[in-house]
Structure 1
Amino acid sequence: MLPLLVCLNTPAQAEPSAFTSGSYQQLLANNPNQPFMLVVWSINCSSCLKDMELLSRIHTSRPELKMIMLAADELSATEQIQTILEKHQLSDIENWVYADENPQKLQFEIDPKWYGELPRTYFFDKTHQRTGVSGVLSKEQYDEMFTKILQPE
C-alpha cells in the first residue's frame, strides 16, 4: 500500500525584494502618477510591531491606496519578516528588506533629513511630493494624510 500524501494548497508568498542603492529611485519610477505610502519598519521595533494591526486594517479598508513595506533589517531576517507580514495579512503587498552593508547609505537615499528612527512613514502624492512622519500614527492621522495625497486635482 502506498503512503497517503496530503498537500495543502497554500499560496506561496514572495520574499521581500532586496532594497539596495538605487531601489528608492526604482520605487518612484515604478509608481508614476500614483500616490502611495512607504512604511519603514523593523522586526526589532516594538512600536512598529504594534502598528501592524492598524496597517493591516488600513490595507483592507483602503484598497485604492498603494502601501509599500520596507523592513530596515538584514536579509538574514527575511523569514521573520515574512512571518510578521503574513500574520498581519500584509504579505500580498509590495515588500522590501534592506540588502546593503551600509543601512545609513540607504536611509540617506530615501531621505537625507531622516536619522533612522522607526517607524517612519512617507506619504507620496501622485507627483511624488512627500511627507515623512516618524513614530506611530493614529488612524485619524493616517486618514488626514490619505486625504492630502489622494485628493483629485
Structure 2
Amino acid sequence: MCIDMKKIFAPLCLLLTLCSAPLYAENQTQPFKAGTLNEILKARQGKPFMLMFWSLDCTSCMKDLDALSASMKKHPKLDLVMVSTDEAEFSGEVAEVLEKHKLGQVESWIFDESNAQRLRYEVDPSWYGELPRSYFYDAGHNRLPVSGAITTEHIDAWVAAVKP
C-alpha cells in the first residue's frame, strides 16, 4: 500500500495555515454615530474607563498608541475605548494600525457620519477636533478631557486614582 504524500501534505498545510492565521474578526471596528457615546457610557455604568479619539494621519496619536499599549500591558484591567475620527471606509487600516500597536483587542469605533462636527459636539461641545483627544472617566462618569499627547505617567496616575 503506497500513500500519496501530496494528497496528505496539501490539506495539512492548508489546515495549519488556517489555524495560525490571526483572528482579526474577534474585534471589528464598529460605526460611531449619533448616540454611540451613550451606548458606551451605559455599557460601563459605575466603571472607570478611558476614551481616546485618534486618526490615522495624526503623528501624535501614534505616540499615544504606544503609550496606551504599554499601559494596557502594565494594567490589564484598564478599560480602553478607541474611536478613530477617520471616515468609515478606512476601518480596515484602523484595525491594522491598532493591531500593529498591540491594541487589536480593545473596543474600537470609527466615525460613521458625514457630519463629523456633529459627532464631536455630541461627545463634547468644547471639543473642536484637535487630536489626540482623551477622556478619563471615573466610576461616576465624571470625566477629565485631555487634548494632545498623553504619557504612561498620565495613565498610571489616573489608574492609581480610580483603581479599575
Give me the TM-score of the superposition, normalised by structure 2.
Answer: 0.86
Structure 2, unmatched stretches of 5+, are 1-5
Match of 1:8 in 2: 18
* 1:150 and 2:157 matched: no
| CA distance in structure 1 between the partners assigned to 2:64 and 2:77 by the alignment | 20
Please say which structure displays the higher CA radius of gyration: 2
Q: Does 1:61 align with 2:57?
A: no
* 1:101 pairs with 2:114: yes
Instruction: Using the TM superposition, give the Cα deviation of residue 64 of structure 1 relative to its aligned residue in structure 2, in angstroms.
Output: 1.7
The separation in 1 between residues aligned to 2:101 and 2:128, in whole angstroms, is 27
Aligned to 1:21, what secondary structure does the other structure show?
Answer: coil
- Report the identity percentage: 35
TM-align CA RMSD: 1.6
Structure 1 unaligned regions, length at least 5: none
Which residue is equivalent to 2:154? 141
Tell me if structure 2 keeps the 8 A contact 1:125–1:150. no
SS at 2:10's partner residue? Answer: coil
Alignment size in residue pairs = 151
Which protein has the bigger helix share?
Answer: 2
Question: 2:78, 2:64 → 1: CA distance?
Answer: 17
Aligned mate of 1:48, from 45, 61, 69: 61
Q: Secondary structure at the match of 2:83?
A: strand
Partners of 1:148 and 1:107 in 2: CA distance: 27
Letter in 1 for 2:90: A
The one-letter code sitting in structure 2 at the alignment partner of 1:12 is: L
Q: TM-score, normalised by structure 1?
A: 0.92
